[in-house]
Amino acid sequence: MSLFEKIITFVIKNKRVIKTEQVPMDEIDEIICLSNTAIGDTLFNTPIFRALKSYFPDKKLTVVLNPNNASLFETNPYIGEILLYDGKSKNFLSFLYRLKKKQPKLILLLHSNEPQATPLSVLAGAQYILKVPNDKTKYNIWHTNPPTKFSGEYTVLDKLKQLKYLGIPDKRIRDCRMELFLKEEWKEEVHKALPVKEGERLIGFQIGASHLSRMWFNDRWIELGKKLLESKENIRIILTGAPSEQKITEEVASALNDDRVINCAGRFSLGGAAALIGKLDVLITPDTGPLHIAAALKTPTIALYAVMDHWITNPAFDKEIHLYIQKPKTCTPCVSRQCKFQECMLQISVEEVYEMFRQIIK
């Protein structure tokens, strides 16, 4: 336990929130949601934003976002106000000051890391703090809802279960479609740099991922690229990714050495990168943020899974255009984020990815 965690736990040990199966929403004027981690995590929460604003149109919805990706959600019509917090302990007190000024009554911890999230909510004076699932954190004694396990369903459906404590009917909390609202300037940024010729198909390769354990191997991407370029399809291969992924995308681009391969990793603004994914005909990707951006923009995807289970993060909507390849873990125990060589991803062959591409492109 870190010194920060020891201090913060001591400070809140005698504070309590209200335990109830039903939050009295007639007493609530503003709903505050914490979703300040990765892009994919916040996209998972967009169905919650939609449900909250749809069911409580007169209540203000304030969302706490990570400064690194908040710009993607500025256009979300359901969000009334955005607050920025990077989730780091060094910025805890300054953000607590801003949050406390809002005198919050209800806070939903949609995706925000401990030991910051719950103590922030408690010290800001929230009477009701909701988090699902929350059975694996010692901070659940400060949550309004009882300890609740992960159900094993699509992760968005689990998150939506918080809404039952607000009196939202079950039918409303099964709508798990994610949304992303692109600015015209983002689309124009991509259009100017990458005009599409008539009849041409753009095939995205998302090579990088948040963890090595989820990544396919570069030699497989290169082999797949050659196979696609040799096909009769009129295609261009677009290498997507963040600036930090330019090294691995350049390795693939150099090996393919073809004018029809364009390395776009780190080339656009964050909004432009999302618009690029929205422009693709297919995105082939591991389980990482761009997969969820594609799903939110209705771009067809082929997702590659081994360490993670597809039913947890692969889109549970538009299933006909969001295909996946699932392989079993090869190591016992699986070390996941500490993995140094993702042997399980070797089980995914170039041929089966190519055949799935042929299936989805039809």
Q: Are residues 144 and 198 in the same domain?
A: no
Q: What does the alpha-carbon distance between residue 290 and residue 354 come to, in Å, rounded to a whole number?
A: 20
Q: Are residues 156 and 204 in the same domain?
A: no
pLDDT score of 232 more than 90:
no
- Among the candidates 133, 149, 174, a domain finishes at 174
Tens of pLDDT, residue by residue over 241-261, are: 999 999 999 999 999 999 999
Domain, as residue range, for 270: 187-361
Q: What does the alpha-carbon distance between residue 49 and residue 336 come to, in Å, rounded to a whole number?
A: 30
Q: State in Å, rounded, how far the first CA of the chain is from the last one.
A: 54
Among 93, 85, 151, which residue's Cα sits nearest to residue 112? 85
As for how many domains the chain has, the answer is 2
Q: What is the pLDDT of residue 335?
A: 85
pLDDT score of 173 more than 80:
no
Q: Are residues 331 and 219 in the same domain?
A: yes
Q: Does 92 map to a domain?
A: yes
Q: What is the pLDDT of residue 198?
A: 86
Give the residues across from 261 on adjacent strands.
Answer: 237
Q: Does 182 map to a domain?
A: no
Q: Are residues 109 and 218 in the same domain?
A: no
pLDDT score of 172 more than 80:
no
Q: Are residues 319 and 340 in the same domain?
A: yes
Q: What does the alpha-carbon distance between residue 302 and residue 293 come to, in Å, rounded to a whole number?
A: 13
Q: Are residues 216 and 143 in the same domain?
A: no
H-helix or E-strand spanning residue 120? helix 117-123
Q: Does 311 map to a domain?
A: yes
Determine the 3-state secondary structure of 2 from DSSP: coil
Q: For residue 69, what is the domain's CATH number?
A: 3.40.50.2000
Determine the 3-state secondary structure of 103 from DSSP: coil
Backbone angles phi, psi at 88, to 5 degrees: -90, 145
Q: Are residues 163 and 209 in the same domain?
A: no
Backbone angles phi, psi at 328, to 5 degrees: -80, 160
Helix residue spans in 45-154 (DSSP H): 46-55, 92-101, 117-123
**pTM for the model:** 0.95
Give the residues across from 263 on adjacent strands.
Answer: 239
Q: Does 180 map to a domain?
A: no
Q: Are residues 170 and 191 in the same domain?
A: no
Q: Does 106 map to a domain?
A: yes
Q: Are residues 254 and 327 in the same domain?
A: yes
- Among the candidates 149, 174, 199, a domain finishes at 174
Q: Compute the C-alpha angle 82/7/107, nearest 5°.
A: 30
Is the preceding omega at residue 24 within 30 degrees of 0, hence cis? no
Cβ(180)–Cβ(293) below 8 Å: yes
Tens of pLDDT, residue by residue over 99-132, are: 999 999 999 999 999 999 999 999 999 999 999 9
Q: Does 181 map to a domain?
A: no
Backbone angles phi, psi at 282, to 5 degrees: -150, 140
- Among the candidates 117, 147, 174, a domain finishes at 174
Positive or negative CA dihedral for 257, 261, 267, 270? negative
DSSP class of 170: G
Q: Are residues 116 and 245 in the same domain?
A: no
DSSP class of 315: -
Tens of pLDDT, residue by residue over 123-137, are: 999 999 999 999 999
H-helix or E-strand spanning residue 176? none
Tally of CA atoms within 13 A in the half-sphere of 336 that contains its CB: 3
Instruction: Take residue 182 and report the two structure tokens written for it.
Output: 């692109």
The mean per-residue pLDDT over the stretch 19-34 comes to 97
pLDDT score of 94 more than 70:
yes
Q: Are residues 21 and 148 in the same domain?
A: yes
Q: Does 281 map to a domain?
A: yes
Q: Specify the residue for token string 């549970």.
A: 316
Q: Are residues 131 and 193 in the same domain?
A: no
Instruction: Take residue 288 and report the two structure tokens written for it.
Output: 């990482």
pLDDT score of 171 more than 80:
no
Q: Does 232 map to a domain?
A: yes
Cβ(23)–Cβ(168) below 8 Å: no
